Amino acid sequence: MQEVIIVGAGLSGLATAYFLKSNGVDALIVEARNRWGGRIDTVQAAGNATPVEMGATWFADKHTYLMRLLKELELPIYKQFQKGIGIFETDASEEAQLFQIPDSEEASYRVAGGTSKLTDALAQQIGTENIILNSPIISVSELDDVIEINTAKGERLTCRYLVTTIPPFLLLSQKIAFNPPIADEVKSVMENTHTWMGDAIKFAVEYERPFWRQIGFSGNVFSHAGPAIEVHDHSNYEGSRFALIGFLSADASNMAKEEREQKVIEQLTRLLGDEAASYLSYTERLWKEEAYTFADYGKYIMPHQNSGHPLYAKPLMNGKLLLAGTETSPVFGGYMDGAVYSGLATAHHILQEKR
Ligand SMILES: Cc1cc2nc3c(=O)[nH]c(=O)nc-3n(C[C@H](O)[C@H](O)[C@H](O)COP(=O)(O)OP(=O)(O)OC[C@H]3O[C@@H](n4cnc5c(N)ncnc54)[C@H](O)[C@@H]3O)c2cc1C
């Protein structure tokens, strides 16, 4: 039997295991995907191996739990490049407006080498042998003093404390069998909890050189015309690899990949000049196609709706089942900082209970 099993090897699950281990308690992580990281995934782009973020990227000084963890793990961070001219377009047929990015803009940071450096460092600290991949859980049962879980791969595991970090809406929509069932009042909050960025479309275009900087542009674009609605400079920490990164509008998911790529390049060329057409690679991720991140709500749920709801702080199954994950965090719920906070609070709770 395990003392603690954590479901999900995203930032929350990894942080929970890391904080427990720092206090002498080992945990086993059970993860559905074939990789750890969840909504954090840094990919090496095909042209020049520029590290491009398909998931979480930016954070700021106000994200104190994340900042502290990065420092503790000795992971260097650097400022997001945003010097120069920004572009705002309302309509593709109208001339775009140019604006100077003010110096007073709050600094945002990135992790040197990519955000996956953080999840990789946590996985190393925990010990990768303590992370079971490719094992979606399918049932959770309370048996006297323990909890038993079953995975789709046929594993049956028992533990004293079970921590789930699956985004709450997904936890319900996956139809995991809970015995006894989750109380209706908790279920109704879960049913209405937004999964931050769960349906985002992220893209990155890699270039040989940062041609936009050389003509005075910051790389920032905000557009109502699309398909790219937001673009940022995505050059690497060392200043040797260059890319633009951003988000596509939701309706871009109706296009074929080739069409999306072509339309993004056309838009960048229209806004930043002909050199935008000479790109090395195009990378994208449609998160709504990721079954272990997103399920269709079937209705409108506001961004961050029910993030950090107080009911998530109450353990279930007589104190043995803890609901964690960034969406349960009262501090920056939905963001990386919320995930680290959730890990810290969950580990703290278990350590207090064990005393
Ligand atoms: C495109 C995008 C951009 C973002 N940008 C930013 C940003 O710039 N700054 C920021 O702070 N945040 C950003 N975020 C949010 C950030 O990624 C999340 O806050 C954080 O990574 C969430 O961590 P988590 O562990 O709580 O959840 P997740 O990362 O979702 O982890 C949950 C884990 O549970 C696993 N799982 C699901 N079902 C099962 C099952 N049945 N059995 C076992 N395992 C299961 C999943 O595979 C996953 O690994 C972004 C997210 C996305 C998608």
- Tens digit of pLDDT for each residue in 216-228? 999 999 999 999 9
The pLDDT score that the predictor gives to residue 93 is: 85
pLDDT of residue 337: 98
Mean pLDDT of 23-40: 98
The range of the structural domain enclosing residue 177 comes to 1-40+116-195+290-355
Distances (CA, A) of 29 to 38, 117, 293, 345: 13, 19, 17, 17
Cα 287 to ligand 1 centre (Å) = 10
- CB of 200 closer than 6 angstroms to any ligand 1 atom: yes
What's the pLDDT score for residue 103?
74
The average pLDDT across 293-310 equals 97
Which residue owns the Cα nearest ligand 1 atom 2?
A: 55
Q: With cut-offs at 50, 70 and 90, classify the pLDDT of residue 106.
A: confident
Grade residue 238 by pLDDT with cuts at 50, 70 and 90.
very high
How sure is the predictor about 355, in pLDDT bands with cuts at 50, 70 and 90? confident
Q: Compute, in angstroms, the gap from residue 196 CA to the centroid of ligand 1.
A: 8
Q: Do 26 and 107 belong together in one domain?
A: no
Tell me: do 47 and 110 sit in the same domain: yes
Assess whether 151 and 62 both reside in one domain.
Answer: no
Query: Can you tell me which atom of ligand 1 is nearest the CA of 33?
Result: 47
Please work out whether the CB of residue 58 comes within 6 Å of at least one atom of ligand 1. yes
- The CB of 325 under 6 Å from ligand 1? The reply is yes
Query: CA 18 to CA 121: how far, in whole Å?
Result: 10
For the residues of 120-149, what is the DSSP string, one character each? Answer: HHHHHHH-GGGEE-S--EEEEEEETTEEEE
Of 289, 320, 347, the residue at which a domain comes to its end is 289
Residues 205, 280 within the same domain: yes
Is 220 found in the same domain as 274? yes
Query: Per-residue pLDDT for 105 more than 80?
Result: no
CA-only gyration radius of the chain, Å = 21
Give the C-alpha separation, 260 to 252, whole Å: 7
Let me know whether 275 and 349 are in one domain.
no
Give CA torsion, residues 290, 292, 295, 301, to 10 deg: -110
Kindly give the number of the ligand 1 atom that is closest to the alpha carbon of 39: 29
Query: Last residue of a domain, which of 289, 310, 339?
Result: 289
Which ligand 1 atom minimizes the distance to the CA of 176?
41
Q: Tell me: the pLDDT tens digits for 133-177?
A: 999 999 999 999 999 999 999 999 999 999 999 999 999 999 999
Amino acid identity of 218?
S
Q: Are residues 127 and 235 in the same domain?
A: no
What is the percent of the chain where pLDDT is above 90? 96
- Nearest atom in ligand 1 to the alpha carbon of residue 342 is 26
The rounded mean pLDDT for the chain is 97
Tell whether ligand 1 has an atom less than 6 A from the beta carbon of residue 119.
no
Instruction: Indicate if 225 and 294 belong to the same structural domain.
Output: no
Q: Is the CB of 165 under 6 A from ligand 1?
A: yes
102 confidence band (pLDDT: 50, 70, 90): confident
- Predicted confidence at residue 323, as pLDDT, reads 98
Residue nearest to atom 35 of ligand 1 (CA): 8
Question: How many angstroms separate the alpha carbon of residue 295 from the centre of ligand 1?
Answer: 13
Residue 169: CATH number of its domain: 3.50.50.60
State the alpha helices, DSSP H only, in 174-324: 184-190, 211-214, 257-272
Ligand 1 within 6 A of CB of 28: no
Query: CB of 246 closer than 6 A to ligand 1?
Result: no
For ligand 1, say whether the CB of 260 is within 6 Å of any of its atoms. no
Mean pLDDT of 71-100: 94
pLDDT value at position 254? 96
Given a contact cutoff of 8 angstroms between Cβ atoms, the answer to whether 301 and 194 are in contact is: yes
Q: Do residues 281 and 294 share a domain?
A: no
User: What total number of domains does the chain contain?
Assistant: 2
What number does the ligand 1 atom closest to the CA of 138 have?
41
DSSP 43-103: EE-TTT--EEESS---B-TT-HHHHHHHHHTT--EEEPP--SEEEEES-TTSPPEEEEPPT
The DSSP letter of residue 325 is: S
Per-residue pLDDT at 80: 96
Q: CA 82, CA 62: separation in Å to the nearest integer? A: 19
132 shares a domain with 3: yes
229: nearest Cα among 191, 203, 190: 203
Q: What's at 331, amino acid-wise?
A: V
**Could you tell me the pLDDT band of residue 94, with boundaries at 50, 70 and 90?**
confident
55 lines ligand 1 (CB under 6 A): yes
- What CATH number is associated with residue 221? 3.90.660.10
C-beta of 31 in contact with ligand 1 (< 6 A)? yes
Query: Which amino acid would we find at residue 221?
Result: V
Mean per-residue pLDDT, 79-108: 89
pTM here? Answer: 0.98
* 272 shares a domain with 217: yes
Instruction: State residue 163 phi and psi, 5-degree precision.
Output: -110, 120
Residues 28 and 149 in one domain: yes
